[in-house]
């Protein structure tokens, strides 16, 4: 998994029906507690907000965190780091 800080929220009105209701967050990836300048867009599944440090799961495993496990999504925020 990846750790990162939520930097923003991306709005997409025209999208796949199975993604309606998904909140797309842009997350800056950290390594060993330091920011990297690399970013990923992930769907929130835990009620995380901008500025929070989160854990992200990528790939096909990410979908298991969504209510609709058939949504075409490859990255999900699965936890908030204390």
Which residues lie below 8 Å from residue 15, measured CB to CB, with a gap of 6+?
none
Interior angle at CA 65, CA 63 and CA 71, nearest 5: 35
Q: Point out which residues bind a copy of itself (CB under 8 A).
A: 1-3, 7-8, 10-16, 18-19, 24, 26, 28, 31-32, 37-43, 45-47, 55, 57-65, 70-76, 78-82
The token duo for 77 is 């925020």
Pairwise CA distance, residues 69 & 60, whole Å: 10
Nearer to a copy of itself by C-beta: 14 or 51? Answer: 14
- Min dist CB 59 to a copy of itself, Å, is 5
- Min dist CB 57 to a copy of itself, Å, is 5
């Amino acid at each position: 998994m990846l750790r990162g800080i939520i930097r923003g929220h991306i709005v997409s009105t025209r999208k796949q029906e199975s993604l309606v209701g998904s909140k797309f967050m842009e997350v800056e990836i950290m390594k060993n507690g330091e920011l990297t300048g690399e970013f990923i867009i992930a769907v929130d599944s835990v009620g995380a907000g901008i500025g929070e440090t989160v854990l992200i799961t990528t790939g096909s495993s990410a979908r298991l965190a969504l209510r609709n496990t058939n949504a075409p999504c490859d990255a999900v925020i699965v936890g908030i780091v204390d």
